[in-house]
């Protein structure tokens, strides 16, 4: 466990993965992730990521990574202007990166719980995301179909998760950790973590 007031990541190597979990950092009083981005630990997290270490932000963690400039774009208020907490479906956009490499090309049922989850980025950044295959997940129907009816927050191009150009920093709004045990009635999310663990430890860090 890491405390936000810590200033170092002693004992961690680039083969490890730092996870920024969901929640409401600093009460989201200014803008989700905007204050947490200045927590002392974030300088160490940024240095860790820039040196090739894996960083995974979920929900508020995704917002913090965008505010810190570790991921492009921003998370805006949901298009319906309301907080929502429910199950949605997402599917991998490709299988290039560790977190998607072992996933099937199908819809996974994963919970969301956010008020500011609408992914937005300027057109040039969206173009780069496509070019570098940085879009990880898209919102879809239970059968994997894309469409505005299956986009829970109005995200551009139904984007539910992205990574950086180097492929070692990941962010997603849905919560796979809330769907990782059969006792919870859904273990779809466990496959995301299994894929990341198996592939992040591979010696092949040059992804094709």
| CATH number for the domain that contains residue 148 | 3.40.50.880
Of 59, 66, 140, 163, catalytic: 59
Q: Respond yes or no: is residue 17 known to be catalytic.
A: no
Per-residue pLDDT tens digits of the chain, which is 208 residues long: 888 888 999 888 888 999 999 988 887 777 788 888 889 999 999 999 999 999 999 999 999 999 999 999 999 999 999 999 999 999 999 999 999 999 999 999 999 999 999 999 999 999 999 999 999 999 999 999 999 999 999 999 999 999 999 999 999 999 999 999 999 899 999 999 999 999 987 544 443 3
Q: Is residue 11 part of a domain?
A: no
The answer, as to whether pTM is greater than 0.85, is yes
Query: Does an H or E element contain 197, and which?
Result: helix 190-200
Q: What angle do CA 18, 19, 20 make, to 5 degrees?
A: 120
Q: Is residue 71 part of a domain?
A: yes
Of 7, 130, 175, 181, catalytic: 175
Q: Is residue 118 part of a domain?
A: yes
Q: Give the domain extent around 32.
A: 17-200
Q: Is residue 10 part of a domain?
A: no
Q: Is residue 207 part of a domain?
A: no
Q: Respond yes or no: is residue 59 known to be catalytic.
A: yes
Q: Is residue 208 part of a domain?
A: no
pLDDT at 144: 96
φ, ψ at 116 (rounded to 5°): -125, 75
Q: Respond yes or no: is residue 166 known to be catalytic.
A: no
Count of structural domains within the chain: 1
Q: Is residue 176 part of a domain?
A: yes
Q: Is residue 2 part of a domain?
A: no
pLDDT at 206: 40
Of 67, 114, 140, 177, catalytic: 177
What is the C-alpha to C-alpha distance for residues 61 and 129, in angstroms, rounded to an integer?
Answer: 20
Residues 6+ apart with CB under 8 A from 43: 7
pLDDT at 36: 87
């Amino acid at each position: 466990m890491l405390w936000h007031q810590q200033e170092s990541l002693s004992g961690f190597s680039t083969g490890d993965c730092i996870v920024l979990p969901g929640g409401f950092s600093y009460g989201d009083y200014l803008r989700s992730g905007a204050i947490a981005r200045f927590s002392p630990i974030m300088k160490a997290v940024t240095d860790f990521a820039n040196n090739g270490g894996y960083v995974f932000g979920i929900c508020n963690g995704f917002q913090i990574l965008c505010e810190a400039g570790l991921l492009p774009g921003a998370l805006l208020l949901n298009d319906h202007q309301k907080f929502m907490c429910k199950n949605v479906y997402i599917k991998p956009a490709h299988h290039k990166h560790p977190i998607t490499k072992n996933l099937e090309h199908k819809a996974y049922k994963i919970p969301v719980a956010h008020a500011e989850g609408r992914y937005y980025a300027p057109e040039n950044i969206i173009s780069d995301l496509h070019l570098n295959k940085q879009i990880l997940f898209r919102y879809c129907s239970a059968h994997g179909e894309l469409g505005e009816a299956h986009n829970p927050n109005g995200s551009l191009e139904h984007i539910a998760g992205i990574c950086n150009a180097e492929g070692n920093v990941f962010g997603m709004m849905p919560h796979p950790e809330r769907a990782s045990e059969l006792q919870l009635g859904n273990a779809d999310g466990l496959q995301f973590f299994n894929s990341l663990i198996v592939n992040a430890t591979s010696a092949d860090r040059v992804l094709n």
